[in-house]
Amino acid sequence: MDAIILDPCCGGRSFWFDQADQRALFGDIRSEEHTLCDGRAFNITPDLNMDFRAMPFPNESFRLVVFDPPHLRRAGSESWLRAKYGILGDDWRDDLRRGFAECFRVLKPEGILIFKWAEVQIPVSQILALTDSKPLFGHKYGRRNGTHWIAFMREAA
């Protein structure tokens, strides 16, 4: 494996400056093509179809993991929000708890996890309670902007 960065919920790779960055492996459970209401194409084309709750990598495989899981509990079945971001199931707490655990498992010691959360339906405080790892830094409050970027570091071996 040549990639040193893992994005296990890449979606449409929207926040990447280079959506084909060779240092990264882009994964997602979905492979889909959509036409948005304004006619633009929105495609989810991961390098590898995978489930962030059970990733197919050995322990300590990546130096950096970017974890941007679905953040919606409710969205119309044909809405562009659901198409773009996906939706959490009824077991969302367990799913995200398992996702955090997997992200830390595949990180090398002292590797970095960048976590992205859009606080539109579930407060980020409820999400951070799903991992024992303590954040280093990031947005503590979403009053002006509901999107949080939070950095973690895996403990040394």
Domain residue limits, the chain: 5-153
Would you say domain 5-153 falls under CATH 2.40.50.140?
A: no
Least confident interval from 101-105, 120-124, 132-136, 137-141: 137-141
Q: What is the pLDDT of residue 44?
A: 94
Q: What is the pLDDT of residue 142?
A: 58
The alpha carbon dihedral of 148, 10, 52, 151 has a sign of negative
Q: What is the pLDDT of residue 42?
A: 86
- Mean pLDDT, to the nearest integer, of 77-86? 82
Q: Which of 87, 89, 121, 115 is nearest to 102 (CA)?
A: 115
Whether 138 shows a pLDDT value over 70: the answer reads: yes
Confidence tier at 139 by pLDDT (50, 70, 90): confident
- Mean pLDDT, to the nearest integer, of 54-81? 92
Q: What is the pLDDT of residue 143?
A: 61
Q: What is the pLDDT of residue 89?
A: 92
Write out the H or E segment, with its range, that includes residue 13.
Answer: none
Least confident interval from 64-68, 104-108, 126-130, 140-144: 140-144
Write out the H or E segment, with its range, that includes residue 108.
Answer: strand 107-118
Mean pLDDT for the chain overall: 92
Taking only the tens place, the pLDDT of each residue in 22-66 is: 999 999 999 998 887 788 888 999 999 999 999 999 999 999 999
Whether 140 shows a pLDDT value over 90: the answer reads: no
- Mean pLDDT, to the nearest integer, of 74-101? 90
Exposure of 27 by Cβ count < 10 A (0-12 exposed, 13-18 middle, 19+ buried)? buried
